[in-house]
């Protein structure tokens, strides 16, 4: 059995819990930092990154989350969750949890495209992965060691760096759970003892 948490301070928590369900996965709704000790991987949901950050500070999650990621435990951020993971944010002096070498711009699709749904070609997953974009960020730059997994209109919308996975869209709001299955696989692989 593997234990995967969903950070439950704000945002689309229930949908992620549903998307992660699998026979060998125990999904943990994470409301206290002590729960991080019981999980093998963690999802940062979408929502509002500034609100989420405020709650991370308020409930003493900042250091424990940093520590969790620094140990190399897998983290998957969707939309606002990806903003939390970026080491650089366009127009902001300070990043949040800052674990991935990506530069992210918030609300970057502009007014006409504030929210839309599309099929994406995602490396290692499929050619027709459903993504819902809601006031979505764009990954403007990906550092060395970051694998770009998907682009939309020439812009990076999904990337992976070792144990860290980030996407601009909300796979949890669709019935297409392949992004989550991919993350579960990442978690499983991170737990395998090297031969
Ligand atoms: N625009 C939000 C932010 O900047 C993210 C939107 C989302 O998660 N759907 O935090």
Over residues 168-173, mean pLDDT:
97
Percent of the chain clearing pLDDT 90 (strictly above): 94
Whether the predicted pLDDT of 15 surpasses 80: yes
| Residue 79: active-site member | yes
Give the model confidence (pLDDT) of 43-73 as tens digits.
999 999 999 999 999 999 999 999 999 999 9
Is 167 touching ligand 1 by the criterion CB < 6 Å?
no
Is 107 touching ligand 1 by the criterion CB < 6 Å?
yes
In whole angstroms, give the CA distance from residue 124 to residue 52: 30
- Residues recorded for the chain: 195
Whole-number Cα distances in Å, 115 to 45, 96, 123, 136? 17, 24, 23, 8
> 3 - beta bridge partners?
26
Q: pTM above 0.85?
A: yes
CB atoms within 10 A of CB 93: 5
> 130 - beta bridge partners?
119
Query: How many Cα atoms sit within 13 Å of 142 on the Cβ side?
Result: 21
Q: Which residue in 181, 141, 130, 187 sits closest to 18, CA to CA?
A: 181
Whether the predicted pLDDT of 31 surpasses 80: yes
Contact assessment for residue 75 and residue 44, using Cβ atoms and an 8 Å cutoff: yes
**Architecture of 2-191 per CATH?**
3-Layer(aba) Sandwich (3.40)
Give the model confidence (pLDDT) of 93-140 as tens digits.
999 999 999 999 999 998 778 899 999 999 999 999 999 999 999 999
In this prediction, residue 188 carries a pLDDT of: 96
Whether the predicted pLDDT of 194 surpasses 70: no
| Residue 94: active-site member | no
User: Catalytic: which of 15, 16, 79, 167?
Assistant: 79
Over residues 11-15, mean pLDDT:
94
- The lowest-confidence range among 53-62, 78-87, 108-117, 146-155 is 108-117
Over residues 158-177, mean pLDDT:
97
Q: Which residue in 5, 20, 2, 66 sits closest to 183, CA to CA?
A: 20
């Amino acid at each position: 059995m593997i234990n995967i948490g969903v950070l439950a301070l704000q945002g689309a928590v229930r949908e992620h819990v549903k998307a992660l369900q699998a026979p060998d996965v125990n999904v943990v709704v994470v409301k206290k930092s002590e729960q991080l000790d019981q999980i093998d991987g963690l999802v940062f949901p979408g929502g509002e990154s500034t609100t989420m950050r405020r709650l991370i500070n308020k409930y003493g999650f900042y250091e424990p989350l940093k520590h969790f990621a620094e140990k190399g435990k897998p983290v998957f951020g969707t939309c606002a969750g990806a903003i939390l993971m970026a080491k650089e944010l366009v127009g902001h002096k300070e990043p949040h949890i800052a674990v991935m070498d990506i530069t992210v711009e918030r609300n970057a699709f502009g007014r006409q495209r504030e929210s839309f749904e599309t099929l994406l070609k995602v490396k290692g997953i499929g050619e027709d992965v459903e993504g819902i974009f809601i006031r979505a960020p764009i990954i403007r730059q990906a550092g060395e060691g970051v694998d770009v997994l998907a682009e939309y209109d020439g812009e990076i919308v999904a990337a992976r760096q070792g144990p860290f996975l980030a996407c601009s869209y909300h796979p949890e709001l669709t019935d297409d759970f392949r992004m989550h299955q991919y993350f579960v696989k990442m978690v499983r692989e991170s737990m395998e003892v090297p031969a």
